Amino acid sequence: MSVTITWYGQAATTITHNESVLLIDPWFNGNPVSPIKPDELNRVDIVAVTHGHFDHFGDCLEICRKFGAKLISTPEIAWYADGKGIPRGSQALPLGFGGQLTVDEFTLAMVPALHPSALYGEEWHTQKEFIPDGGPSSYIITVDNKVIYHAGDTALFSDMKLIADRYKPELGLLPIGGRFTMDITDATTAIQLMGLNAAIPIHYNTNPDLIADPKELINMLKSKSIGSEVIILNPGESHVLN
């Protein structure tokens, strides 16, 4: 069966294969562009969190509790989840940079990202308290012999080439909003640096600080004679990898 990627705004993404569902950075409540809320999800088998900012950690705990989904995260986030009723080791599965694990049909490798980070957990809402989250990450996801790079939040950095040489992703989900992450110019360089066949722009147009036109990414790639495809999705839309 094919692999289906669905984007819900910001970095929230599902990757589905043979009915198994991987959900990355599950921010739905408070996400101004998401067409759904967490209670409208039908199935989630795995939740992978890139870092602890509220727009990425998001509804992680609620979704893991509801579906019994496995949580893949840094050890720090896994320990936090353990304290919230998601047992570390059996449900919360810690992962470190350079490590990988396989759950159901998905193999996830955690690779570095370049971004400030901390965990905005349940305490943040009442006490404005955040805790260390182990640092920001990106994921290399292998499923059905397809390799996908989900960048989460990151700036451009030269080790993207090393990541690409090691894992050889064919498609990348890349932030383009600027201000806190790569902008379109840097995303263009990242696509070239990683040799991606295709890219899906993420992390833009959710607030006034992240305004971007993904069509400009197409134009910039063309201006540099880079033949990579840009797949523009509206929140809630899907792309099928055959």
pLDDT in tens, the chain (242 residues): 799 999 999 999 999 999 999 999 999 999 999 999 999 999 999 999 999 999 999 999 999 999 999 999 999 999 999 999 999 999 999 999 999 999 999 999 999 999 999 999 888 778 888 889 999 999 999 999 999 999 999 999 999 999 999 999 999 999 999 999 999 999 999 999 999 999 999 999 999 999 999 999 999 999 999 999 999 999 999 999 98
CB count, 10 Å around CB of 79?
A: 15
H helix or E strand, kind and range, residue 94: strand 92-94
Separation of alpha carbons 219 and 227, rounded Å: 11
Phi, psi angles (nearest 5°) of residue 81: -60, -35
Cβ-proximal residues to 144 (8 Å cutoff; 6+ apart), any chain = 1, 2, 3, 17, 105, 241
Domain around 206: 3-241
Separation of alpha carbons 158 and 193, rounded Å: 8
Q: Number of folded domains in the chain?
A: 1
CB count, 10 Å around CB of 155?
A: 17
Indicate whether this model's pTM tops 0.95: yes
CATH of the domain at 101: 3.60.15.10
CA angle 175, 45, 121 (to 5 degrees): 60
Cβ-proximal residues to 107 (8 Å cutoff; 6+ apart), any chain = 100, 101, 141, 142, 143
